[in-house]
Amino acid sequence: MKILEQLSQEINKCVLCGTCRSVCPTFGVINREPASARGKVALCSAFLNKEIGLSDGFIKQMNECVQCMACMTACPNDVNVPDIILAARAKIAKEKGLPFAKSFILDNILNSERLMPAVMKFASKLQGLLFKGVPEESGLHRRFHLPLIGEKRLVPPLAERFFLEGRKLTEAKGGNGEAEKRRKNLSPIRPFADSPIRIGFFAGCLINYMLPHIGEACLKVLEKAGASVIVPLNQHCCGMPALGMGDVKTAKSLAIKNLEAFEQYELDYITTACATCGDGLKRRFKELLSDEGEDVRKRVESFADKVRDITELLVNELRIQNSEFNRKSKIVNSKSEIVTYHDPCHLRRGQDIADGPREIIEISGAKLKEMRHPCRCCGLGGTFNITNYDFSMAINRSKAEDIKSTGADIVATACPGCMIQIKDGLHHLGINTKVVHVVELLADNIIKQ
């Protein structure tokens, strides 16, 4: 990862034209220059020129960015503002240290393959005491005051059984003679004789702990599409939340652990249904491990080359649109629900994927109705939503209204983070539009078949 000082050339590329003001979501809410990407770059430039130090005002501005990448896409000079801001956060974390609670969680829990599930398990048992269910909603509201969790906030419940836990049980039960072997080395669930395509599935924290049904849906669709899927059980958090907070050390350590978890298998592809994880696996791992020597560089490159978003894998590699699958799917789904699609920032801009998810909606037999601004950020911004909840929801407001005005039955997207945020936003406006991952649309059809 480049440090802020190494990005001075990138910072100087900004000619202060102001184009980013037209797309920056934090500026859109605050409507004052320091909230814009241009303002933040100017502050980084002033910091490098020693005009200002790591003041509270500087730290606040660096924290108030959702990393949506809209600025760099609009920028006539291709200035990579998100990376400049990440480098500034890393600088802040290094010089000022992370707040104790943050660093404790990052160092000791997120980074541990035993502690993290244990803590989440404990939390999932505890959540009934702290939160109450919302009628007709699959979310929770807090029962009494809790730090970091606002009164109106709709919190997705932690799953009773985590995705990776469920996988472990499935593997252990086994159906044939290979059960024992699988238990030991976590080998493929069901190798397809006619399909040599071997896929490693990366769950990511949100799917693992909160929305395991998306993971299950992915496995179901992938198998139906003729691939054999492996879910390495010793996989970890992708590390992007840590990187977002400026904790490069933890992000690096998680990258290495994930690399090792997937290197155990000979895989053709590694896939994930989380846009942010996917962006991290494809791009950030390489950057994080760029100075770890030639051997690691080669390993991480071979890893990153295999990564595909689930929609990309289904449409570009497995070509499900040409399969029997497609034809049947359309027949089963005759009621033609209207679906609108939200482009996750880290899929559309991070991975340049826009058509795949839309094609999947078509394949599912649903009717796609575009919203006015499908690429506008939902406002989650990873941990930005936790540290700046009201700000985050203010950004979401226009997204929720945009969805509402389509009159769609379902809003589909391709990132569990966006799903949680959009659901919360719609709940604030009292709208009951169903929120799903595009892969769920396909999985539903398989059940109907």
Partner 1 sequence: MLSKNLIQELTRIIGKENIRTDEEDLICYSYDATNQKFLPDAVVFPKNADEISLILKLANKEGFPVVPRGAGSGFSGGSLPVEGGVVVSLERMNKILTIDTDNLIAEVEPGVVTGEFQWAVEDLGLFYPPDPSSLKFCTIGGNVAECAGGPRAVKYGVTKDYVLGLEIVLPTGEIINTGAQTLKGVVGYDLTRLMVGSEGTLGIVTKIILKLLPLPEATKTMFAIFTDMRDAAETVSKIISSKIIPSTLEFMDRDSIKCVEDYSYIGLPYNVDALLLIEVDGDKELVENQAEAIKKICLDNGAKEIRIAVDKKEAKKLWQLRRAISPALAKLKPNKINEDIVVPRSKIQDAIIGVREIAKKHNLINANFGHAGDGNIHVNIMIDKSDKAEFLRAEKAIREIFELVLGFGGTISGEHGIGISKMPYIGMELSRSAIDVMKKIKQVLDPNEILNPGKIFPRI
**In angstroms, what CA-CA distances link 10 with 94, 283, 350?**
21, 18, 18
Q: Name the minimum Å distance from CB 61 to partner 1.
A: 6
44-52, 63-71, 219-227, 413-421 -> range binding partner 1 (CB under 8 A): 44-52
What is the SS3 assignment for 424? helix
> Which runs of consecutive H residues, i.e. helices, occur in 159-274?
163-173, 179-185, 205, 212-224, 240-244, 248-263
Q: Which is nearer to partner 1, 13 or 121 (CB)?
A: 13
Cα 319 from Cα 427, distance rounded (Å): 36
Binding of partner 1 by 51 (CB under 8 A): yes
Q: Which of 3, 5, 6, 12 binds partner 1 (CB under 8 A)?
A: 12
Q: Which of 52, 130, 386, 446 binds partner 1 (CB under 8 A)?
A: 52
Helix 56-63 to helix 81-96 angle (10° resolution) is 130
Binding of partner 1 by 80 (CB under 8 A): no
Binding of partner 1 by 390 (CB under 8 A): no
Q: Which is nearer to partner 1, 15 or 179 (CB)?
A: 15
15-23, 179-187, 239-247, 387-395 -> range binding partner 1 (CB under 8 A): 15-23
Q: Which is nearer to partner 1, 51 or 295 (CB)?
A: 51
Sign (positive/negative) of CA torsion 318, 323, 328, 333? positive
50-58, 129-137, 245-253, 403-411 -> range binding partner 1 (CB under 8 A): 50-58
Q: Which is nearer to partner 1, 27 or 285 (CB)?
A: 27
Neighbours of 125 (CB within 10 A): 11
Q: Which is nearer to partner 1, 58 or 325 (CB)?
A: 58
Q: How far is CA 109 from the centre of its chain?
A: 19
Q: Which of 5, 32, 336, 432 binds partner 1 (CB under 8 A)?
A: 32
What is the H or E stretch that residue 58 is in?
helix 56-63
Q: Which of 4, 7, 29, 43 binds partner 1 (CB under 8 A)?
A: 43
Cα 194 from Cα 200, distance rounded (Å): 18
Here the tokens at position 277 are 């994880």
Q: Which of 55, 302, 405, 449 binds partner 1 (CB under 8 A)?
A: 55
> Which runs of consecutive H residues, i.e. helices, occur in 284-434?
285-288, 294-306, 310-312, 324-332, 345-348, 355-363, 384-387, 389-406, 416-428
Are 200 and 422 spatial neighbours (Cβ–Cβ below 8 Å)? no
Cα 21 from Cα 84, distance rounded (Å): 17
Binding of partner 1 by 354 (CB under 8 A): no
Binding of partner 1 by 42 (CB under 8 A): yes
What is the SS3 assignment for 281? helix
What is the SS3 assignment for 203? coil
40-48, 63-71, 210-218, 267-275 -> range binding partner 1 (CB under 8 A): 40-48
Q: Name the minimum Å distance from CB 93 to partner 1.
A: 19
Q: Which of 1, 2, 13, 213 binds partner 1 (CB under 8 A)?
A: 13
Binding of partner 1 by 405 (CB under 8 A): no
Helix %, strand %, coil % for the chain, to 5?
55, 10, 35
Q: Name the minimum Å distance from CB 13 to partner 1.
A: 7
Binding of partner 1 by 397 (CB under 8 A): no
Binding of partner 1 by 294 (CB under 8 A): no
Cα 442 from Cα 258, distance rounded (Å): 28
- In the block, which residue shows the tokens 């291709």? 78
Q: Which is nearer to partner 1, 59 or 386 (CB)?
A: 59
Binding of partner 1 by 179 (CB under 8 A): no
Q: Name the minimum Å distance from CB 272 to partner 1.
A: 31
* C-alpha R_g of the chain: 22
Q: Name the minimum Å distance from CB 321 to partner 1.
A: 22
Here the tokens at position 28 are 């859109």
Q: Which is nearer to partner 1, 57 or 128 (CB)?
A: 57
Burial tier of 409 (Cβ tally within 10 Å: 0-12, 13-18, 19+): middle
Tell me the site size for partner 1, rule CB under 8 A: 27
Q: Name the minimum Å distance from CB 10 to partner 1.
A: 12
Cα 342 from Cα 189, distance rounded (Å): 32
Q: Which of 58, 201, 384, 391 binds partner 1 (CB under 8 A)?
A: 58
Binding of partner 1 by 352 (CB under 8 A): no
Q: Which is nearer to partner 1, 24 or 435 (CB)?
A: 24
Binding of partner 1 by 376 (CB under 8 A): no
Residues that bind partner 1 (CB under 8 A): 12-13, 15-22, 31-34, 39, 42-43, 46, 51-52, 55, 57-58, 61, 76-78
